[in-house]
């Protein structure tokens, strides 16, 4: 894993998801997140403007560590890297996506939901995976069970993580960080209330720091 992002996630074990229809909004969301103390940002490739959003965040929010999420193919991975992504996240385990990221020496976190997928990831030499969708795939009990078998693997649960359960998800030693969109809800973004995003990021950071001090 890239030392820089590993170091950042050890201090702030949070990955904020950003989805926007235009680059200006993506930049403002990311600036608010960074102001709230959350600098690892996953720009989701779910809109037509997603790559433009990613490139804009990379250029205009230098304090953010911006990566690409919802990467479904090798072609998308290549496009994300060309836009400046510093890490790549997929909802599932696709070896072609992993290969593109590895060749670029860029951290890649494919999604797994089962023991079979995790075993494939392990045998590909991966050390950290996204556990998705976390709440539906068994949540914390599943992470504990899987980590008892795959003892060197680290997990980034995403999907169903919120302020109310963040501390619980961060508690297992195998959990490296948590990702989610609870810090970037649609309503305040639609209203242009980016101070609300900053406050949610600050709240998440406080929860995460207290959890890791236990």
C-alpha to C-alpha distance for 88 and 190, rounded to whole angstroms: 27
Q: Catalytic residue numbers?
A: 42, 130
Sketch the domain layout of the chain as residue ranges.
13-212
The tens digit of pLDDT for each residue in 6-53 reads 889 999 999 999 999 999 999 999 999 999 999 999 999 999 999 999
pLDDT for res 214? 64
Q: Which two structure tokens, joined as six digits, stand for 208?
A: 């995460």
Helix (H) or strand (E) holding 99: helix 95-103
Strands 108-109 and 154-157: unpaired
Average pLDDT over residues 143-159: 98
Average pLDDT over residues 186-211: 97
DSSP state of 84: T
* CATH class of the domain defined by 13-212: alpha beta
pLDDT for res 212? 80
The β-bridge partners of 17 are 42
């Amino acid at each position: 894993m890239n030392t820089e992002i590993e170091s950042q996630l050890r201090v702030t074990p949070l990955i904020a998801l950003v989805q926007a229809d235009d680059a200006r909004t993506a930049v403002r969301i990311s600036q608010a997140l960074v102001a709230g103390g959350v600098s690892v940002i996953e720009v989701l490739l779910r809109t037509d403007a997603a790559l433009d959003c990613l490139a804009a965040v990379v250029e205009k929010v230098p304090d953010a560590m911006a990566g690409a999420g919802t990467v479904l193919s090798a072609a998308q991975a290549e496009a994300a890297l060309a836009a400046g992504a510093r890490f790549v996240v997929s909802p599932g385990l696709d070896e072609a996506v992993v290969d593109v990221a590895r060749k670029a020496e860029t951290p890649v976190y494919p999604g797994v939901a089962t023991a079979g997928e995790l075993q494939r990831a392990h045998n590909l030499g991966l050390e950290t995976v996204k556990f998705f969708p976390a709440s539906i795939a068994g949540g914390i009990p599943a992470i504990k069970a899987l980590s008892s078998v795959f003892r060197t693997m680290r997990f980034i649960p995403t999907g169903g993580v919120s302020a109310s359960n963040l501390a619980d998800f961060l508690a297992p030693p195998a959990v490296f960080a948590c990702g989610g969109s609870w810090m970037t809800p649609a309503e305040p973004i639609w209203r242009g209330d980016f101070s609300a995003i900053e406050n949610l990021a600050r709240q998440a950071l406080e929860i995460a720091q207290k959890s890791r001090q236990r």
